[in-house]
C-alpha cells in the first residue's frame, strides 16, 4: 500500500482497481493506465513481482478487469505465476532466485558452502584480503544517512552508463520515490539501505523494500575501485545474515542472468510474462510493437551464451558512450568528494 500511495503522488497514471462482490471488497489491482488504454503493472520497470491482491478463490477473468478499467491491453512480465486470473494469458514462466532463511542463516550458509565450495572459499579469501588491506569488514543494516543513499545511487548510475543501460536515477521522480521509500519504516513495510564498509570506506551497498517476511532486491551496487575483491557478493552474504537476524525469512534477488545468483540461491519462486488484450486498434498496434521485442529478449535470456554476448555488447556500447562525453570544464581538487 505504501509503495502504491507514494507512486500515486508522483505519477498521474497510477490507478487501483477495487473488486467488489455483493458490496464486499474482495480484491485490488494496482496498475498504470497509459495513453490509448495501455495498462501495465504498478512500477513495472522497478518492481520484481506483482499480481492481483484478492481473497482466496476469487473467480474473475482478466478481460473483465480490463473492461471495467477501460484498458485495451495489459502487459506483464513479473506476475506471480499461476494466479487463476492471469494464468490463461501467461506466455512464459521463469524462476526467481531466492535466499531462503527460514531455517536460519547457519543453515543457509551451510547450503552455499556445500553446493558451491569453490565460490564460497574464493569470496571468503577475498574478504580476508580486503580486511587486511583496507580495514575491518562490517555491514550497516538500515542505514539512514541520506549521503549513504547518494553514494549508492552514484555507483548504480555509473554502472548503468558503463553497461549501456538506461540510468534510472536520471529521472528526478525516481530519486524522489527512492527517498520516500528510504524514509518508510513500519512492521509490514519499509525501505532498507545496507552498506558494506572496509574500515571507514563504503565499498558496496543495496537498497530494497521489506515486507514483514521478505527483503526484495532492488538496487545493488559497489564501488568499481574495489571490484577485484567481489564486494557485491560479500555484501549479499552479510546482508542475508542481517536479514535473518531481523526475523526475515527470505531475500528475493529478482530474475536475471547474473551467475552469482545461481550459487547464492537455495530456493526459487516463479513469475510469469504475458499479455491480455481486448479487440481494438490500440491492442493491435501494441502487439506489433511489443511481441517481436519480447520474443527476441526471451531467446537471449534463455541461452546463457547469447546473454553473455549481449551483456558484453552493452558494456562495449557503454564504454564508447562514456568516452564520447565531453570533459568537465573544471575538475574538482583530487581530495574533494
- Cα 198 to its chain centre, rounded Å, is 25
Residues 205-246: pLDDT tens digits?
A: 999 999 999 999 899 999 999 999 999 999 999 999 999 999
Residue 147's pLDDT is what?
96
Q: At what angle do helices 2-10 and 172-182 cross, to 10 degrees?
A: 150
Burial 126-143 (b: 16+ CB within 10 A, else e): bbeebeeebeebebbeeb
Spatial CB neighbours of 132, under 8 Å, sequence gap ≥ 6: none
At residue 304, the pLDDT reads: 53
User: Rounded CA gap, 262 and 189, in Å?
Assistant: 27
Give the model confidence (pLDDT) of 115-164 as tens digits.
Answer: 999 999 999 999 999 999 999 999 999 999 999 999 999 999 999 998 88
- Spatial CA neighbour of 193 closest among 207, 175, 176: 207
Angle between helices 105-115 and 117-134 in degrees, nearest 10 = 110
Average pLDDT, the chain: 86
Per-residue pLDDT of the chain (337 residues; tens, 9 = 90+): 889 999 999 999 999 999 999 999 999 999 999 998 999 999 877 888 899 999 998 999 999 999 999 999 999 989 999 999 999 999 999 999 999 999 999 999 999 999 999 999 999 999 999 999 999 999 999 999 999 999 999 999 999 998 888 899 999 999 999 999 999 999 999 999 999 999 999 999 999 999 999 999 899 999 999 999 999 999 999 999 999 999 999 999 988 767 889 999 999 999 999 999 987 555 555 555 555 444 444 444 454 554 454 445 444 544 544 444 444 343 333 333 2
Q: Which residue has the cell 492471469?
A: 86
CB 65 within 8 A of CB 85: yes
Written as nine digits, the cell of 231 is: 564486494
Amino acid at each position: 500500500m505504501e509503495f502504491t500511495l507514494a507512486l500515486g503522488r508522483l505519477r498521474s497514471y497510477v490507478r487501483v482497481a477495487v473488486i467488489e462482490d455483493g458490496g464486499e471488497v474482495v480484491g485490488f489491482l494496482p496498475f498504470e493506465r497509459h495513453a490509448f488504454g495501455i495498462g501495465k503493472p504498478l512500477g513495472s520497470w522497478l518492481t520484481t513481482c506483482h499480481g492481483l491482491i484478492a481473497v482466496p478463490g476469487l473467480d474473475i477473468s482478466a478481460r473483465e478487469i480490463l473492461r471495467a478499467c477501460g484498458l485495451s491491453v495489459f502487459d506483464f512480465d513479473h506476475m506471480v505465476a499461476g494466479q487463476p486470473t492471469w494464468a490463461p494469458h501467461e506466455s512464459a514462466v521463469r524462476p526467481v532466485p531466492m535466499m531462503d532463511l527460514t531455517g536460519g542463516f547457519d543453515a543457509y550458509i551451510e547450503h552455499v558452502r556445500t553446493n558451491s565450495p569453490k565460490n564460497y572459499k574464493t569470496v571468503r579469501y577475498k574478504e580476508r584480503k580486503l580486511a587486511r588491506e583496507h580495514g575491518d569488514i562490517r555491514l550497516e543494516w538500515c542505514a539512514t544517512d541520506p549521503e549513504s543513499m547518494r553514494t549508492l545511487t552514484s555507483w548504480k548510475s555509473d554502472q548503468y552508463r558503463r553497461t549501456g543501460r538506461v540510468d534510472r536515477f536520471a529521472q528526478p521522480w525516481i530519486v524522489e520515490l527512492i527517498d520516500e521509500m528510504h524514509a518508510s519504516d513500519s512492521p509490514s513495510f519499509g525501505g532498507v539501505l545496507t552498506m558494506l564498509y572496509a574500515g571507514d570506506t563504503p565499498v558496496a551497498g543495496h537498497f530494497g523494500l521489506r515486507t514483514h517476511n521478505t527483503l526484495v532486491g532492488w538496487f545493488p551496487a559497489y564501488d568499481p575501485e574495489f571490484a577485484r575483491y567481489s564486494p557485491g557478493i560479500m555484501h549479499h552474504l552479510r546482508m542475508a545474515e542481517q536479514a535473518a537476524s531481523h526475523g526475515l525469512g527470505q531475500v528475493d534477488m529478482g530474475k536475471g542472468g547474473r551467475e552469482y545468483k545461481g550459487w547464492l540461491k537455495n530456493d526459487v519462486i516463479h513469475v510469469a510474462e504475458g499479455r491480455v488484450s481486448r479487440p481494438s486498434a490500440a491492442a493491435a498496434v501494441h502487439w506489433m510493437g511489443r511481441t517481436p521485442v519480447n520474443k527476441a529478449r526471451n531467446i537471449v535470456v534463455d541461452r546463457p551464451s547469447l546473454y553473455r554476448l549481449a551483456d558484453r555488447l552493452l558494456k562495449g556500447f557503454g564504454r564508447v558512450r562514456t568516452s564520447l562525453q565531453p570533459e568537465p570544464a573544471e575538475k574538482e581538487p583530487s581530495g574533494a568528494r
